[in-house]
Amino acid sequence: MGISLQDGSQIPSSMHCPREWQPLYESLKFGVEFRQELPLLEDHPTGQGPKLIVIDDFMDEIKSHHKEILRFFIKGSHHRNLSIFFLSQCLFPDGLRQISLNAHYIVLFKTSRDLAQIRTFCMQVDPQHFRALLEAYEDATRAGYTYIMFDFKPNQEDHMRMRTLIFPGESTVVYIPRAKYKRETMTVL
């Protein structure tokens, strides 16, 4: 079966590595391999086809395993056709800097605490327009369980880097700092 992407392509297999098992996972078992341990890059040789790997809530183990996790972001995603989702409750845990710098996408959800980490992130992304990025975050996460996605892929156009509502059937919203683009209107296809 696999996972269908917006562009029509498929990821035929996926692995979810949750730190803690939840009953909800029973309903997701079809087509998903579950492991309650950190995966090893050696278990995913080159040439096996695309695969999605979700590393979920291993924040407390980043410090001792950050090199192995970093290898997934460098070698796994770039050379072994792996898409890595690293889920964490903290934007800047120890050992995450290199992982963060090698991530193609960073998704921020609404938080009511420690907004300083969001501000720091926005300053790192675009120091000249960080206030616009903060406003985009606040707008996108106004309601509960909402998010903003930052797209850092090298081939992504700059005006498409901040988005929300990205799933099929949703009307995608793109955030563009006004100071960056002087034109009144912009056509986005």
CA 100/CA 66 separation, integer angstroms: 11
Please write the tens of the pLDDT for every residue from 58-94. 877 777 888 888 888 888 887 888 888 888 888 877 7
Please write the tens of the pLDDT for every residue from 124-141. 999 999 999 999 999 999
Please write the tens of the pLDDT for every residue from 135-160. 999 999 999 889 999 999 999 998 89
Range scoring the smallest mean pLDDT among 32-36, 55-59, 180-184: 180-184
> In the prediction, which pLDDT does 107 show?
94
Token reading at 53: 């790997």
Q: Quick one: DSSP state of residue 19?
A: S
- Indicate the fold that domain 3-180 takes in CATH: Rossmann fold (3.40.50)
Token reading at 126: 């675009």
Break the chain into its structural domains and give their ranges.
3-180
Distance between first and last Cα of the chain: 29
The answer to whether 133 touches 179, Cβ cutoff 8 Å, is: no
Beta partners for residue 107, in sequence order? 149
